[in-house]
Amino acid sequence: MRTVEIIGAPTDYGANRRGVDMGPSAIRYGGLAAELEGAGVACIDGGDLAVPRAEERDPDTDQPRAGMAKFLRETADVCERLADRVEGALADGTVPLTLGGDHSIAIGSLVGAARGASIGAVWFDAHADLNTPETTPSGNVHGMPLAAALGIGAFEDVGWANAPGLAPENVALVGLRSVDDAERELIRERGFTAYTMSDIDERGITAVTEEALRIASDGVDGVHISLDLDWLDPNEAPGVGTPVRGGVTYREAHTAMEIVHEAGSLRSMELVEVNPTLDQHNETAELATELAASAFGKRVL
């Protein structure tokens, strides 16, 4: 039986709206453990990282390399500790499932998963998350984690942020519909595999997800799945900080996660950007638990 270790990273340093730090609690309350057990996997809850509240910190953007990135020092601290926890879970033979918190925590997830291994990543998100401190229009680090892990721009040779076992050719972005100009240029320059919602409309979620997983898993030890709940249409997942109309449906999201399980390459995963202060009856958190269960093998029959 496969064992999943839940790791909470309750941070909102990287976001522009408060409340996402309560995401891990909301997802647990939504029945995550029961859903995973229903998928036939054992579940260990490793608790939450201790994360000081943003009000207790200074969003100083004058740090070396920070540029316009807010709370970069605090983000580094969280991600360094999260990377150690993810690495430890893998060393224990478990699959780390990190609960955000905002998407900046993916830096730690990727770094930990890539220690001593080559990995790919499939990024299920409305956004590309390829901004850097030089290009960000907002200063919010939740729009930078993929760029950070790949050492792009100001993140080049930044030890806490870089995942050396991750290469652009093994990254696939799925479901894009809100991409900044600098990110669009970077996707073209670096040759990232990127699928917009138009690709999903034209080809279907099954074909797109299967192809994304083939690309991400080519020649690597395993694949990291990053699932931002704003990937779904806001009618399906209202409790997110940066909703964008026109996302995937409930059934498309489950189909994609079922394909993740069938591919057999899942190494680590995160669920991010659930903001219970913006949610309705905790339905976004509950949806996150259901999608995680699908990724770990839960089926109707």
- Positions marked active-site: 103, 125, 127, 129, 142, 228, 230, 273
Taking CA atoms, 121 is separated from 7, 67, 214, 238, 268, in Å, by 19, 26, 11, 25, 9
Residue whose tokens read 């201790």: 50
The tokens describing 108, both together, are: 């730690």
Interior/surface letters 174-190, b for 16+ CB within 10 angstroms, e for the rest: bbbbbbbebbeebbeee
H helices within the chain, ranges in order? Answer: 23-29, 32-38, 72-91, 106-113, 145-149, 181-190, 197-203, 205-217, 250-263, 283-295
Which 3 state secondary structure label does DSSP give 48?
A: strand
